[in-house]
Amino acid sequence: MFTDVSHYAIDTSEYINRRNMLSAKVGANTAVILFAGHAPVASLDESYPFLANRTFYYFCGIEQEDSVLILTKEGEKDLFTPHLYIYPREPEKEKWTGKRLSTEEASQISGIKDVRVLEQLKSDIDDIISRGMIIAWDESDNSHARAHLEHELAKTDRFDSATDISGSVTLLRVIKSPAEVDAIRTAIRVTEECLEVLEQNLRPGMRECEATAILEGEMIKRGSLFQSFSTIAAGGENTLCLHYPTPKALIPDGAMLQIDTGARAGGYCSDISRAYAVNGKRDSRQQALFDLICECKKTALSAIHPGATIESVNNETRKTAAAGLRELGVISKSEPDALAVCKNYYWHNTLHHMGLDVHDVCDREMVFVPGMVFAVEPGIYIPEWGFGFRVEDDVYLAEDGAKYLSHPQS
Ligand SMILES: [Mn+2]
């Protein structure tokens, strides 16, 4: 039996909690307006797949195009009154694009009693503006819908009072609740099952995209129709391209295969990178680099503690990388500034926050506190050797330090 996440969902009480937590950070007489957004057009009548704006989703759990969430805080009230706007059921349209949520279903998912049809949105927003309420929105949302509201608001005298809530939202989203950690753990379990299938099918001469197909096929089979991002599969020298976009090459005997992939569960991401010897046995250089990267991961894990920052973890990990590269002779023993030269081999950050977005919202200066979840991915790339890679695992920050959520590769 494998893990099936096709119906994995976070409990409604989570969304209610989150709205209540946000209401404590917003002043009186305010209307927070958040948009699900619309799938971008690829060409003519073909669109890219739709994924709701993650901040919108965070506060209501609705994954349906063009939906809008308005949270109003009127008079002396402490808590928001939430209003959700969705398309009405339309059997003719649903013949083409599938079943839409009924107001009852949307209400059940989100815990919002007041679910209205989108036709009402414009007059409701006009009413909010005419009552002199402060408009609050997420300025990191680049959707057409928000641009349109900005345009409309610019015609009134209310524009200058509009406030950005993205900072407050970030403070909520970076701390994961137990239910969120459970969703992430489930997404990781799916990814690990799929990686196991891939490992059983690795063989010299296979094409990179066959690895992609195995992983993404196995994820879809388990109900992760959406992955955290497009899987990266790069063999041999192609491992020197971090976001290698054209996995068409054959992977020769003796080469390494870099995999960077992640399933979703309940909208939550996982993000795991593995470095495989395609013939099942690492040669001495491959093994040496693998060992060094694992050493870097150990350093990173002990550097991730309450009070640390992205920068402090980067600095500690780079020291381990620089010392190891000198040991391997990649950086000359006579080099006076191994740390500076290490930048030629250590190209990217060691870690990033992970949640509803794979590179989750954060403030880079933010000091780590318990409850944060990170993908930790030290990577070393050695053009002189013709390959490089990263090994990535996901961790949870507890009071007493970082704990693995995934099972590290050995
Ligand atoms: Mn990552």
DSSP class per residue in 196-251: HHHHHH--TT-BHHHHHHHHHHHHHHTT--SBSS--EEEEGGGGGSTT-----SB-
Mind listing the pLDDT tens digit for each residue in 379-394?
999 999 999 999 999 9
Q: How far is the CA of 316 from the centre of ligand 1 (A)?
A: 18
Q: How far is the CA of 61 from the centre of ligand 1 (A)?
A: 24
Q: How far is the CA of 349 from the centre of ligand 1 (A)?
A: 9
Query: What is the average pLDDT across 246-271?
Result: 98
Q: How far is the CA of 57 from the centre of ligand 1 (A)?
A: 22
Q: How far is the CA of 351 from the centre of ligand 1 (A)?
A: 7
Q: How far is the CA of 352 from the centre of ligand 1 (A)?
A: 7
How many other CB atoms are found less than 10 A from the CB of residue 16? 17
Q: How far is the CA of 196 from the centre of ligand 1 (A)?
A: 19
Per-residue pLDDT at 62: 98
Query: What is the average pLDDT across 120-143?
Result: 95
Q: How far is the CA of 4 from the centre of ligand 1 (A)?
A: 23
Q: Can you tell me the distance from the alpha carbon of 224 to that of 267, in angstroms, rounded to the nearest whole number?
A: 9
Per-residue pLDDT at 76: 81
If pLDDT is split at 50, 70 and 90, which confidence band does 156 have?
confident
Q: Can you tell me the distance from the alpha carbon of 130 to that of 109, in angstroms, rounded to the nearest whole number?
A: 31
Q: How far is the CA of 229 from the centre of ligand 1 (A)?
A: 10
Q: How far is the CA of 358 from the centre of ligand 1 (A)?
A: 7
Q: How far is the CA of 272 from the centre of ligand 1 (A)?
A: 7
Q: How far is the CA of 259 from the centre of ligand 1 (A)?
A: 11
Q: How far is the CA of 156 from the centre of ligand 1 (A)?
A: 43
Per-residue pLDDT at 169: 98
Per-residue pLDDT at 159: 80
Considering only 28-37, 73-82, 173-182, 252-261, which range has the smallest mean pLDDT? 73-82
Please give the domain boundaries of the chain with CATH numbers for all domains: 12-173 (3.40.350.10), 178-404 (3.90.230.10)
How many other CB atoms are found less than 10 A from the CB of residue 300? 24
Burial class (CB in 10 A: 0-12, 13-18, 19+), 21: middle
Residue 368: which H helix or E strand, with range?
none
DSSP class per residue in 277-339: ETTS---HHHHHHHHHHHHHHHHHHHH-STT--HHHHHHHHHHHHHHHHHHTTSS-TT-S-HH
Q: How far is the CA of 99 from the centre of ligand 1 (A)?
A: 34
Query: What is the average pLDDT across 317-339?
Result: 97
- Residue 157 above 90 pLDDT? no
Mind listing the pLDDT tens digit for each residue in 274-311?
999 999 999 999 999 999 999 999 999 999 999 999 99
If pLDDT is split at 50, 70 and 90, which confidence band does 158 have?
confident
| Residues around ligand 1, an ion, CB closer than 5 A | 271, 375, 377
Q: How far is the CA of 171 from the centre of ligand 1 (A)?
A: 21
Q: How far is the CA of 256 from the centre of ligand 1 (A)?
A: 19
Closest Cα partner for 67 from 52, 82, 50, 49?
Answer: 52
Per-residue pLDDT at 161: 85
Q: How far is the CA of 30 from the centre of ligand 1 (A)?
A: 36
Q: How far is the CA of 260 from the centre of ligand 1 (A)?
A: 8
Mean pLDDT of the chain: 97
Mind listing the pLDDT tens digit for each residue in 220-233?
999 999 999 999 99
Q: How far is the CA of 113 from the centre of ligand 1 (A)?
A: 38
Q: How far is the CA of 375 from the centre of ligand 1 (A)?
A: 5
Q: How far is the CA of 243 from the centre of ligand 1 (A)?
A: 11
